[in-house]
Amino acid sequence: MLYSDYSKYSDHDKKKIIEKLYVAKGLSFAAIAEQLNTYANKIRRDAVKYSIPIRNKSQAQSNALEKGHHKHPTKGQKRTEEVKNKIGNSVMKSWEKMDKSELSDRKKKSKLLWNKLSEDEKQNRLTLANQAVRHASKTGSKLEHFLLEQLVGDGYKVDFHKEQLLSNTRLQIDLFLPTMNIAIEVDGPSHFLPVWGEDTLAKNKKYDQNKTGLILGRGLKLIRIKQTHDFSKSRALILYQNLLKAVAQLKNTKSKSIEIED
């Protein structure tokens, strides 16, 4: 429906029109102004004048999508790997730029959310976490699989979770480059933080020390990767470049071991 010149309406009629088009139909001020032969700011000022609640930016966007006035910018679109990586890098950088107070605030909010969970919900999440850790210890973590894929893609020969390499043990080496005799161990947070308690941390540290001794004693070289963050492809790509540098360094120098961090 097209309306005549907006300036000719009385205040009473203007209010009724804005309530109908803006509140009931959910049109934007710009869309209303187009119908009324006026300006969007004029409609907005009158809405304020007549005490009509103004939608904030988030509400306006949600309303436009719901009413079909605008299409969702990403719905139905498949992002390319390049776009995904850019998004991942942007998120990673935003976290790295956070100051201590903001990080502390986020941790407090997470703790509050955790405390609001019922005991059954908490136990269920802990059980799932334990199952994931046990599964990863047998099949490899996301980061291990990512590094394996990248190394193989770049032409490296890689043995994954290599057994029977360390004499008289069933210990596995996470990633092994046989042509260069380089072992790569990926250590998650439980290797250096009391994720499962101080006793478990002490056992894990002793286990790692023994394993390091066995690897170096076998005449192999060692790269230990300290995974301090949850897996993200953007961060893993950066880590992989650092891994390649470490491999080159061990190959071309007398160094026996290197530690890198994600």
> Which pLDDT tens digit goes with each residue over 141-194?
889 999 999 999 999 999 988 776 776 666 788 999 999 999 999 998 888 888
Which pLDDT belongs to residue 193?
84
Tokens of 135: 């599964």
Q: Where are the domains of the chain?
A: 10-67, 81-135, 139-261
Residues 6 or more apart whose Cβ sits within 8 Å of residue 4: 37
Taking residue 126's Cβ as centre, other Cβ atoms within 10 Å add up to 10
Average pLDDT, rounded, for the chain: 81
HSE at residue 110, side-chain half, CA atoms within 13 A, is: 6
pLDDT at 105 over 90: no
Which pLDDT belongs to residue 216?
92
Which pLDDT belongs to residue 60?
65
- Whole-number Cα distances in Å, 153 to 22, 146, 148, 194, 223: 56, 11, 8, 35, 20
Nearest C-alpha neighbor of 142 from the set 42, 76, 83, 227 = 227
Which pLDDT belongs to residue 39?
87
Mean pLDDT value across residues 38-44: 89
Tokens of 32: 């209303």
Q: Which residues pair with 223 in a beta bridge?
A: 184, 258
List the alpha helices (DSSP H) in 117-191: 119-139, 142-153
Summarize pLDDT for 57-92 with one digit per residue, the tens.
Answer: 766 666 665 665 555 555 556 666 666 666 655 655
Judge whether 175 and 186 are in contact, CB under 8 Å.
Answer: yes
Residues 6 or more apart whose Cβ sits within 8 Å of residue 178: 157, 159
HSE at residue 55, side-chain half, CA atoms within 13 A, is: 16
- Whether the model clears a pTM of 0.85, i.e. scores above it, the answer is no
**Architecture label for domain 139-261:** 3-Layer(aba) Sandwich (3.40)
Residues 6 or more apart whose Cβ sits within 8 Å of residue 32: 17, 18, 21, 22, 40, 43
Mean pLDDT value across residues 120-134: 68
